[in-house]
Structure 1
């Protein structure tokens, strides 16, 4: 009987060990299954995180570009407003130049020796000076290039004459003064140039 009991005990141990081995495999399979499910979830979450990061990066780039565009528009608008302020008077000033020319011509052609014309001459000169001062106040400047080198950006050559003792391409006479408005040519000076 003792042999039987020992044999039974051994069989029970073997059976128990076999049972534990089977349970261990099942537990191991469950652990592996749980791990692979968790790894799949982790992989999915990592993919979603990478996609979210890519979206954020794209949106950051879009926001930076939009901000730069807004800054460019703001800068361009400020420049256009500044130009509009500077050159809004261009047509008006151009029309006033005709008045200046007529006043200057009137002064050139009036008989200055006649005493009766003195008051009129003085009135025309004062009117001309106040008109030129008003134009100067708003950025209209005279281009009077007498005895200066010819500059095609500011002068319009009406004729050329050979003159002794004067360098070639020098303005020898101004037929009509030119004017600039805030550095921009409003009307070129009409000049006679030496050959």
Structure 2
């Protein structure tokens, strides 16, 4: 090849090289642009995932809080129902307390009437039998409503149910034993309505042992 031909082809070669370089540069620029766009999309996706995770955690915390509130509310309702049921039960049991207290003197008077008459005496026999029958019917009726009698003759003294009006020596009864009932006591549904008034034994004899 002559020198003239080589010189004539040099511009063409340079143009081809420059064109190839330009194409490669454009490809690299597009690749960089693509990588940047992909990174931006990935970054946005990560931010979105974090936002969703935070929203999910907040929702789960809210659900747990509401569940706890529901459990506490249900427990409180159950307690209120239980207290209400107990109040109703107590009201049923002790609604007659005031009325029963008014009946006790009537029972006491009928028992005194029996003590003042004699079933063996013809003059008072009819009265005794009538009062006795009335007293039995009366006490049977009030027992149906939870009223029960305390007559602790010969029983150990119980300060929860008995009221001691005095103590006396006794050979017949051991110490701290009810030796005499001055007035009977009463319970209403196992709750003390009136204590029994009693005389308590101190026991008998003097200890002569050294």
2:180 matches 1:146: no
Q: Deviations over 1:27-48 (max 9, x none)?
A: 1111111111121122112112
Taking structure 1 as reference, are residues 16 and 46 closer, same or farther at Cα in structure 2, changes over 3 Å only? Answer: same
| Deviation per residue, 1:133-170 (Å, 9 max, x gap) | 01111111111111010000010001100111421100
Deviations 1:23-71 (A, max 9, x none): 1111111111111112112211211221111111111111100000000
Task: Tell me which residue corresponds to 1:166.
Answer: 173
Residue 19 (structure 1) aligned with residue 17 (structure 2): no
Partner of residue 68, structure 1: 75
Q: 1:79 aligns with which of 67, 83, 86?
A: 86
Match of 2:112 in 1: 105
Query: What are the ranges of 5 or more consecutive residues in structure 2 without an aligned counterpart?
Result: 1-7, 203-210
Considering only aligned residues, what root-mean-square deviation do their CA atoms show, in Å? Answer: 1.5
Q: Deviation at 1:110?
A: 2.3
Q: How far off is 1:179 after superposition?
A: 0.7
Looking at structure 2, the residues matched to 111 and 118 of structure 1 have their Cα atoms a distance apart, in angstroms, of 6
- Stretches of structure 1 that go unaligned for 5 or more consecutive residues are none
Aligned partner of 2:186 among 167, 179, 195: 179
Shift of 1:115: 1.3
- Secondary structure of 1:32's aligned partner: helix
Structure 2 counterpart of 1:56, from 52, 63, 82: 63
Give the 3-state SS of the residue equivalent to 1:13 in structure 2: helix
Larger radius of gyration: 2
Equivalenced residue count is: 195
TM-score (norm 1): 0.93
